[in-house]
Amino acid sequence: MVPALSVVLPFTPATAAAAARFANALSGQAQVVLAGEGPVDVTPGPNVHVLAAQGGKGAAIRAALPHVTGTHTVLQDPDAAYSPDSYDALVQPLRDDTADGVFGRRPGMSPEMVAERALGGITRFVTDVALTDPLTGLRAFRTEALRSIQLTSDDDAVDAELVVKLAAQLFRLTEVALPPLQAVPRRPASAHLARLRTLVRYATVRDDADNQHEGYSTLERMDGATHYNQWLGRRFREHMGRRVLEIGAGIGTITRELEGGAEHLVALEVERFYVDRLKNMFRGKPHVRPYLSDVALADWESLKAENLDTIVLSNVLEHIPDDASAVRRFRQILQPDGRVLILVPALPQLFGAIDEAVGHYRRYTPESLRAVLEQNGFRVDTLEWMNLVGLPGWFVNSRLLRRRAVPKLQLKIYDAFAPLFAQAERQVKLPVGMSLFAVGRAV
């Protein structure tokens, strides 16, 4: 019988003895995979695998994963501070399908833990995960989720890379408290530095999709602008019905704001890279259906049968080469009196490097947005400027400095004040703004 739980123990010559003790204790309860450098006093068997791996913890984990057979995988540093008695609590959220990764939160504030907490804070800044102890040495994952990420670090930097890439794929991450530890896990200074270097690299020159998708940096950073996204979500929900089609869902930033107010939400996205993340984010929420398709190639007849009353496009219409044709198609599938809710970038004078990086064909004026709606089957009920304060930053970054992504620190500072901007814009009719918001009603 194949055990449902696998335990991966990456070891070094210094931790080989501890790894062997864990393996011998666990061999009757779980599949155990040991990977590392040097001899280890373990007898291989049907559920015990010993693999040679040169280079450090990251290399050992990569070597071990192809041999894992369990539905769930515990990834543990072979340190006596950790106990297999914690496995049940660690794995339970995975069994309940409420999480894809569970991190064991270590108690205490010893000097070693102070350093761990500091690195954990940097990890939260880089990834926006809500984990107190994201770099713990005891974690559990759905094996399918763990295998879906591509790890490149050879050494202890893999601890940081794991969190960065799991967060990038929008997996559900949580943590459980570990009991008081008999001893505080100790790491060499080189391990702390390796993880810090990796976090700095992903926060600056490398995005958490390893720069494979140029526009991802901006999408991911905008996803971290929580207050700004809540502002947009409120604007859309004010006009939204119950059966919604979101065009160009991306990594789910606005989808997350809409789903609570919808009984049925179809999230259409052209990139499989993003659809996979949408499936991770909305796992266990059957009223949200990620849909892989280009706008031009979607099965519009089947979408019409969904009885949609609202179509939402948040910074999407500018990505569509023939926006007029797309708007006509939206009118054809909507229910009578249905609405299209549109947020677009405004002012052609702002078009710059960031627009190019994320694939914009155009920026709109009030006249051009009104025309594309009214000439293709919609009456414009609302047409308003939005986000006056963001205009100077976009001009400097995209036009003057030719940056191809929004700087993360600038965005976080802006987001901290977004609630004030939102409140001010509700009170004052703006003369201009970085974006235009429109509500079109089918006629």
Domain assignments of the chain as residue spans, ordered by start: 5-203, 216-442
Rounded-to-integer distance, Cα 174 and Cα 123, Å: 14
Confidence at residue 212, expressed as pLDDT on a 0 to 100 scale: 56
Radius of gyration of the chain (CA): 25
Give the phi and the psi of residue 252 in degrees, each rounded to 5: 90, 15
Nearest to 171 by CA among 117, 113, 133, 131: 131
Topology (CATH level 3) of domain 216-442 = Rossmann fold (3.40.50)
- Distance CA(168)–CA(298), nearest Å, equals 27
Contact between 19 and 78 (Cβ < 8 Å): yes
Q: SS in 3 state form for 118-158?
A: HHHHHHHHHHCCCCCCCCCCEEEEEHHHHHHCCCCCCCCCH
Q: Name the CATH superfamily for 5-203.
A: Spore Coat Polysaccharide Biosynthesis Protein SpsA; Chain A (3.90.550.10)
Sheet holding 339-345: strands in order across?
A: 288-292, 264-269, 243-247, 310-314, 339-345, 435-442, 378-386
Around Cβ 150, how many Cβ atoms within 10 Å?
Answer: 11
Show pLDDT as tens, one digit a residue, over the chain (443 residues): 457 899 999 999 989 999 999 998 887 889 999 999 989 988 888 889 999 998 899 999 999 999 999 999 999 999 888 989 999 999 999 999 999 999 999 988 888 888 899 999 999 988 888 899 999 999 999 999 999 888 999 999 999 999 999 988 888 999 999 988 777 777 888 899 999 999 988 877 665 555 555 556 566 667 778 899 999 999 999 999 999 999 999 889 999 999 998 999 999 998 888 898 899 889 889 999 999 998 888 899 899 999 999 999 999 999 999 999 999 999 999 998 999 999 999 999 999 988 888 889 999 999 999 999 999 999 999 999 999 998 988 888 888 888 877 776 777 888 888 889 888 988 888 999 999 999 999 99
The whole-number pLDDT of residue 1 equals: 47
**Tens digit of each residue's pLDDT (9 = 90 or more) over 236-285:** 999 999 999 999 998 899 999 999 989 999 999 988 888 988 998 898 89
**CA 435, CA 315: separation in Å to the nearest integer?**
9
* CA geometry: angle 84, 90, 91, nearest 5 deg: 100
